Structures are given as structure tokens and as C-alpha cells.
A and B are shown apart, each in its own frame.
Chain A
């Protein structure tokens, strides 16, 4: 549990040459940890998530995931790393609407040999995860586009969790949900990720959710590029 999952050191990044959008001296997340990041819009949230997901690399400093320096990998190697080790949940519209819920979940295994390797019956695993997240068989087989927003977010969580990746990145996954659905979703997500042994990095502007997590940071304070 204490092994390092995320290590950021002296991270600097800017979308344009003459700009620094993100400047973080240090950030550590242990394997299996639950981290809340409060990040209002403009705090560099999207930038941080892009760096963690390996879509972009640091201008200087380093981002290490599971001991691997992302900046040392090529673009397609980072894509592969993301497929193997990271489950990603967007704010909303997470699913391909023309596939069934269960097929959307199975997509989580499509690009990762490692995540698929541990699973004998993929479909059964997908149904089980969906059930754990509160979707019955009928909903699991329905077209994703026909589900409610809350159901869609749970399918997205199942897709992120299948194959037990080391890290789940959730980018404001509850912002489109009402209060009841939000709390229910949050506890389902956290329970399921604990069961899978996956760490959760949860980003939200809603600081009332922070109490559900072991650790909590405020990106506005963390990001020196914003502090001045």
C-alpha cells in the first residue's frame, strides 16, 4: 500500500512556449490510495490530468507513474501505458452511445493485454462489475445512449475499473449528477476500486466531497503558476 504510484517532482508545463500553466514542486500518491484534488476551472486541472494520463509530457521536472518516468516514453508507449495502468472517467458522455453498456465496459480491455490477461471470462467480469455498480442485466445489455446520466457514469466507472488498473482518474464525474445520485455514485466507485485494489484520483470543484478521501489537495495552492 505504501509503494509509490504517482511521484511529481518540480513539474513545469505550458501549453504555449512563453507560458507556464502548471508548476508543482512535489506530489505523491501511494498505491491503492484515495486522493481528492479540488480544482476549480482555471486551476490547471485539465493540464495535470493530461500529464498524468501521458497525453502530454512535462517541459521540465518529472512525472513518474509506478516508477516509470512518462517523459522517457514515446507517444505510443505512453498510450500503451495508459491502456495498461489507468482507467479514465470523464465528466459526462463517457460512452459510445451505439454500443451496449457491457460492450462499453469491455472496451476497457480492448487496448490492454495486461488488464485482459487476468480475466478468464471477460463478459462475465463485465456483468459482475456492472452489477456491483448497481446495473441489472437488462440495463447492462441496453444501448449506452438509452441509459440515464447516472447509469452512464456507473458504466463508465465499470469500464475504468475492469482489469484492475493501478490508477483511476475521475475528472469531475459527479458534476452532471444530482445530490442523491452523486453520493450513491461516489460510494459505489470507491467501494469497487477498493475491491479492485485501484487507487483513485478524484478531481472536483466541490470540496464537500473531500471527506470521502484519505488525502485532499487544493490545486490552487499546489500550483505555483497560479499562486502569485
Chain B
């Protein structure tokens, strides 16, 4: 009965109750969104590469190497010699070595020079390998394989010609337009940065740069596409190497051997460990976001308390009636706690729904723009915990108007003082 009174009473104050619900709903949605994105970012990043035991690059920071080699974020400051790659690839403990060469782009999408080992050995997610939606790996010097997103966004199909630009800027200012490529394959969608990459052979990268030096075309030394075929196109350098070992047990010793390589300064990282370092870096920003979201929730709950406290005066008559009927002061307090409970529980539920709707609407965009693959309707245990904490704080905060109503109903008794 008391719950029914609480419900009807709230219903009679529809507008203020709805606004309070909305405040709580929005704050809960924000809190859950921060949590959801945090979790999904981690899942998404962790599933970008698997099966690779070591990543080798020029000596730099481990996180930086991971970012530019796997996530295609930022640029490498140095390459490593092709001979170093060959030495690593021939190490008896190495099962496979995938060289990648970065630095060029096509309309904002990164171009990756690599070998057929990439299509054979690269693994992502739950040890899944790359699959072709259409076509096959590159065979000719001027063949290109597109990631799913590149083909979709630019509307490319097999056999189309594309031109690669020098550098990784958005505007293709310096273009290798004398040596166009033919699209021979389009990869199936992976939900990783592979979808946003254009793949060509290492030799092709070499070929488009034969008449270039230090990032500019050499004047008067034009070598056309056919002439380049006749030249020695053995690569001189690569950006990084993904290494798979025969035994993961050897990872630490191979890592040390590479880090102590005599030929040139190299850095080998284990992707999992470096990812953990990355999280501890990002964790600071995440915690700040979470803190802000928690503050918004607190503001929402304070708003509810304010709304309840301001009604107390106009509800003194209601309290006196209940007291005359034999309600004890704690009944009056309980009534206010019930209202706070109802508001925060329904508000939290609305917030969750709001987030689900927003996620449903944003899921395609998050996937294409950030490679974030989220599940709009998932109920994560930690989110339940957060929602529970919000409702619990709402109930706790409801004690403020409840105690006020309690003490007032003690002092007012049956007389109605308005």
C-alpha cells in the first residue's frame, strides 16, 4: 500500500518526476557508456593481433612500435635493414616472419608493403587468419590487395587501377602516378586496422621509389613502370617484422637476442605485454572519464533529493493525514525512501535503455571510424554492478528527505502547518 501511495504520489507530480527520471537516466547512460567503451576498446585492441609472439622494429619506445606497426597509429621514425629481417627470418626458432613496410598511403588509407607470408601467417582475434572476399593475393609487381573497409568506402572493385601517394597525409600531394596498381584481391572484413589498409609487395614499394630520394622525386631521372621491372627490386629496408616462434617458451630468449643484435639497434616486443603497458597509460585518462561520469551521476542524485525535499512543504498535509490514520513517523520516512528508490531504479533502467538505443544507432559508425565492434544489448556484470551502485546511492540519498519528513511528522503531529 505504501508503495502504491509512493507511485501514485509521484504520478501526481508527473512533470517534476519525469525530469528527475531523465536526469538520472542521462547520467547513468553516460556512466555506462564510459564503461562500455573502455571494455570494448580493450577487447577490440586485444583482438587486433594474435599468434604473433614478437614484433621487431627500429629501436624506439615499445608502445610506439606497437602503435605504428599493429594499429597504424603514428609513423615509424626509423626502418630496419632488409638484411636484419632476413637474419631473423632464418633463425631456427622462428616459424614465420612477416615484414611490413609503411610510409605510403592511398586517399587516407595506409599502404603496407609485405610478402605473401602476411596472408598465410597473420592472425587476429581468436587466431583467425585473413580470408579473401574476392580475388587472390598479389602476384604481379603492380598488384594490390584491399582491406574490406577501403573497398567499401571508396567503392572499388577488382581490376580497377589505383595510384599510391607518398607519405601518410590525407591529401595525396605527391603521387606515384607513373606506376599505377591493379586491384587483384579484396579481403573479408576483420574488424581490425587490416580493413583500412592497402597491401602491396615489398618489391612494389621499392619500385615506386626507384627514382625518388629523401622523399622527393629526382629531377630528370624518370624511370617508367616497365623499366622499373628490369631493375633490382630487392628491398633495402622494412619498417617492422611480425615474428611467430616455434615455441612460445623461447620468446624471452629470442627477444633478448634481437635486442642485443650487433648489426643495428633493434627492438623486439611481446604484443600482449606492451598492450598492458598501453592500458596503464590509457588507464589514467579512462579513470578521469569515469570520475567525471560518477560526478554527473552524483549531480543527478542530488537533483532527485532536491526535487523530493522541495515537495516536503507542500506535502505536510499529506503527512498529517497519514499520521491521523495511525501511520508512525517511520512510515512517513519510508514513503520518501520508496519514492527515491522508485525514481533511481526506473531512472537507471531508462539510462540503460538510452545507452542501448544510442549504441544501436552508433554501432555501424564506431565500427567503421574506430574499428570498435560493440554489442549494443550486452549486459556486462560490471555494468550491473554500476547500475546497482547508482540505485543504492539513490536509496541512500533518499534518506535525507526521509529523515526530514520523519522529524517534521513528529513535530507537526495532526496539525497542518503550511
- Cβ-defined contact, A98 with B317, below 8 A: no
Of B326, B329, B414, the contact of A83 (CB 8 Å cutoff): B326
Asked whether, in the complex, the Cβ of A90 is within 8 Å of the Cβ of B12, the reply is no
CB distance from B407 to the nearest CB of A (A): 13
Can you name the residue of chain A whose Cβ is closest to the Cβ of B330? Answer: A76
User: How long is the Cα–Cα vector from A83 to B12 in the complex, in angstroms?
Assistant: 26
A49-B414, A53-B324, A53-B414 known; A98+B331 contact, CB < 8 A: no
User: Which chain B residues numbered 284 to 342 have a C-beta less than 8 Å away from chain A?
Assistant: 317-318, 320-329, 331
CB distance from A93 to the nearest CB of B (A): 6
Q: Please determine whether B328 and A90 come into contact, CB atoms closer than 8 angstroms.
A: no
Q: Are B325 and A99 in contact (CB under 8 A)?
A: no
Render B1-38 as a binary contact track against A, CB cut-off 8 A, 1 for contact: 11011001101100000000000000000000000000
Kindly specify which of A34-42, A108-116, A130-138, A177-185 makes contact with the partner chain. A108-116
Tally of A-B Cβ pairs under 8 angstroms = 72
Please report the C-alpha to C-alpha distance between residue A46 and residue B326 in the assembled complex, in whole angstroms: 17
**Contact partner, B326, options A90, A95, A96, A111, Cβ 8 Å:** A111
Pairwise interchain contact B325-A94, C-beta atoms closer than 8 A:
no
Contact status A56-B413, CB under 8 Å: yes
Q: Is the C-beta of B361 less than 8 angstroms from some C-beta in chain A?
A: no
What residues of A have a CB within 8 angstroms of the CB of B414 in the complex? 49-50, 53, 55, 88, 90
Shortest beta-carbon distance, B288 to chain A, in Å? 44
Q: Is B234 an interface residue (CB 8 A)?
A: no
Chain A 18-59, CB-CB to B under 8 Å as 1, else 0, gives: 000000000000000000000000000010011001011000
Q: Tell me how many residues of A have a C-beta within 8 Å of chain B.
A: 32
Cβ 8 A contact of A88, one of B2, B5, B325, B331: B325
Query: Hey, which chain B residues are within 8 Å of A55, CB to CB?
Result: 323, 413-414
Check B324 against A96 for contact (C-beta < 8 Å): no
- Answer whether residue A69 sits at the interface, using C-beta atoms and an 8 A cutoff: no
Contact check, B321 vs A96: say whether CB atoms are below 8 A apart: yes
B317 and A80 within 8 A (CB) = no
Cα A110 to Cα B2 in complex, Å, equals 9
Nearest Cβ on chain A to B180's Cβ, whole angstroms? 76
Chain B at the A interface: mostly helix, strand, loop or mixed? helix
Enumerate chain B residues within 8 angstroms of A83, measured Cβ to Cβ: 325-327
Cβ of B410: which chain A residues have Cβ within 8 Å of it? Answer: 75
B12 to chain A, nearest CB (A): 3
Task: Name which of A88, A103, A106, A145 has the most chain B CB atoms within 10 A of its CB.
Answer: A88
Across-interface contacts of A94 in B (CB, < 8 A)? 321
User: Which chain A residues lie closer than 8 Å to B317 at the CB level?
Assistant: 93
| Known interface pairs A96-B318, A97-B12, A98-B11; A111-B327 also in contact (CB < 8 Å) | yes
Does B276 lie at the interface of the complex (its beta carbon under 8 Å from any beta carbon of A)? no
Most buried by B among A55, A76, A108, A159: A55
Closest A residue to B413 using CB positions: A55
Report yes or no: A79 in contact with B12, Cβ–Cβ below 8 A. no
Name the distance in Å between A156's Cβ and chain B's nearest Cβ.
Answer: 9
Query: In the complex, what distance in Å separates the CA atom of A88 from the CA atom of B416?
Result: 14
Interface residue B415 (Cβ < 8 Å from any Cβ of A): yes
B12–A98 touching, CB < 8 Å? yes
* In contact, A50 and B1 (Cβ under 8 angstroms): no
Query: Contact flags (1/0) for A102-127 with B, using CB distance below 8 Å?
Result: 01001110111000000000000000
Some 13 contacts from A to B, beta carbons below 8 A apart, are A53-B414, A55-B323, A75-B329, A79-B327, A83-B325, A83-B327, A84-B326, A88-B325, A96-B8, A97-B12, A99-B5, A111-B327, A112-B326
Binding site for A on B (CB under 8 A): 1-2, 4-5, 8-9, 11-12, 317-318, 320-329, 331, 410, 413-416
Other A-B contacts than A98-B9, A99-B8, A107-B325, 18 sampled, CB-CB below 8 A, are A50-B415, A55-B413, A55-B414, A79-B323, A80-B326, A80-B328, A83-B326, A86-B326, A90-B321, A90-B416, A96-B5, A96-B8, A96-B321, A98-B11, A107-B322, A110-B1, A111-B327, A111-B331
